[in-house]
């Protein structure tokens, strides 16, 4: 457990280290500005969001003092955020299991101060930005390799995106350039219709949802059992947050094609799809390809042979269906 005295010591040491470079540093770049900015982010800002004003501050510090001072500034902000969040945790009335996960995350973040290189603490490093989100209580660790944020069940799936895809496909039809005749257009319209039906009649709105994210540093914790526990913790959060409409998740590993290529990943969507979640095909994206084939020689080979194309899929798991599953799953077996 992190002791407040330890954090106070880290904060004092961090301030002294930076002040040695320039005693007027904090007059120009007050740490309170950084901490208050991050603490004040909208709940709907993504876990890797950085405000334009903070980006400008970071650029000035790096230009004037170098990357080491900037990384020390980031660590100092994390220490302040963790100290503030520890005081707020008890007022959140979270389940005890969730509070423990927060404290474990804080402990790991603090231990990183002496173990991570300077380049870990960069606005370009998504892992560090997730640490900022969790340590400011904007993101909630739910166990295993996962955390959730509040957001919209949209992302790549919102109505106007789907509508634009339908229109683009229709335009190709008109120009005679569609690859599969009218089939693709019918499929696009069908997906748009299914999405609208779920949003209008099942969840009754596209926000707010819990959005599931993965944390790459916790890769060893990607297991079916940990995923199930994470879903159950999300259900606990739903019980405390009556306005949340359900869970939204979007990834290449939700692709049904992976059942035959990488069946070990099927568990990531099995429980939701079996218990009320609706799956939607989003489409392909060249920027996705490298990520999807990075950790699998088989996927990489099939991709090179043109037999596998990484494809985005998303599911919407309505609140009522998730809670019904969790109620059954948490009952002791007879």
Q: Is the pTM of this model over 0.85?
A: yes
Secondary structure of residue 15 in the 3-state scheme: helix
Are 88 and 140 contacting, i.e. CB atoms less than 8 angstroms apart? no
3-class secondary structure, 282? strand
Kindly report, residue by residue over 109-122, the tens digit of the pLDDT. 999 999 999 999 99
The top-scoring range by mean pLDDT among 83-97, 153-167, 301-315 is 301-315
- Mean pLDDT, to the nearest integer, of 195-209? 84
- pLDDT recorded at residue 158: 46
Mean pLDDT (the chain) is: 89
Angle of CA points 40, 41, 44, to nearest 5°:
140
DSSP 89: H
Instruction: Give domain limits for the chain.
Output: 4-138, 150-158+206-329
Quick one: pLDDT at residue 205?
84
Give percent of the chain above pLDDT 90.
Answer: 72
The whole-angstrom separation of Cα 320 and Cα 276 is 9
Per CATH, the number for 150-158+206-329 is: 3.40.630
């Amino acid at each position: 457990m992190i002791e407040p005295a330890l954090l106070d010591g880290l904060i004092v040491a961090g301030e002294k280290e930076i002040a040695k470079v320039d005693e007027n540093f904090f007059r120009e770049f007050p740490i309170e500005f950084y901490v208050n900015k991050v603490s004040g982010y909208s709940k709907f800002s993504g876990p890797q969001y950085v405000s334009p004003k903070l980006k400008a501050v970071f650029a000035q510090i790096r230009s004037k003092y170098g990357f080491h001072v900037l990384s020390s500034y980031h660590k100092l902000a994390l220490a302040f955020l963790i100290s503030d969040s520890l005081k707020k945790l008890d007022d959140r009335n979270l389940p005890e299991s969730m509070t423990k996960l927060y404290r474990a995350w804080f402990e790991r973040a603090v231990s990183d101060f002496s173990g991570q290189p300077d380049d870990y603490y960069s606005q370009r490093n998504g892992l560090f930005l997730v640490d900022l989100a969790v340590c400011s209580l904007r993101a909630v660790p739910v166990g295993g390799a996962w955390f959730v944020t509040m957001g919209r069940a949209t992302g790549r799936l919102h109505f106007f995106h789907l509508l634009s895809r339908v229109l683009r496909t229709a335009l190709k039809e008109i120009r005679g350039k569609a690859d599969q005749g009218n089939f693709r257009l019918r499929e696009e319209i069908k997906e748009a219709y299914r999405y609208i039906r779920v949003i209008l009649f099942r969840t009754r709105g596209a926000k707010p949802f819990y959005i599931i994210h993965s944390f790459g540093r916790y890769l060893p914790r990607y297991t079916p059992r940990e995923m199930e526990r994470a879903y159950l913790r999300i259900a606990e959060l739903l019980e405390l947050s009556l306005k949340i409409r359900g869970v939204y998740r979007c990834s290449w590993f939700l692709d049904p094609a992976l059942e035959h290529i990488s069946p070990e990943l099927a568990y990531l969507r099995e429980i939701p799809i079996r218990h009320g979640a609706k799956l939607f095909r989003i489409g392909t994206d060249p920027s996705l390809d490298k990520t999807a084939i990075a950790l699998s020689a088989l996927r990489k080979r099939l991709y090179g042979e043109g037999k596998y194309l990484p494809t985005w899929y998303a599911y919407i798991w309505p609140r009522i269906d998730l809670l019904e599953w969790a109620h059954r799953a948490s009952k002791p077996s007879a």
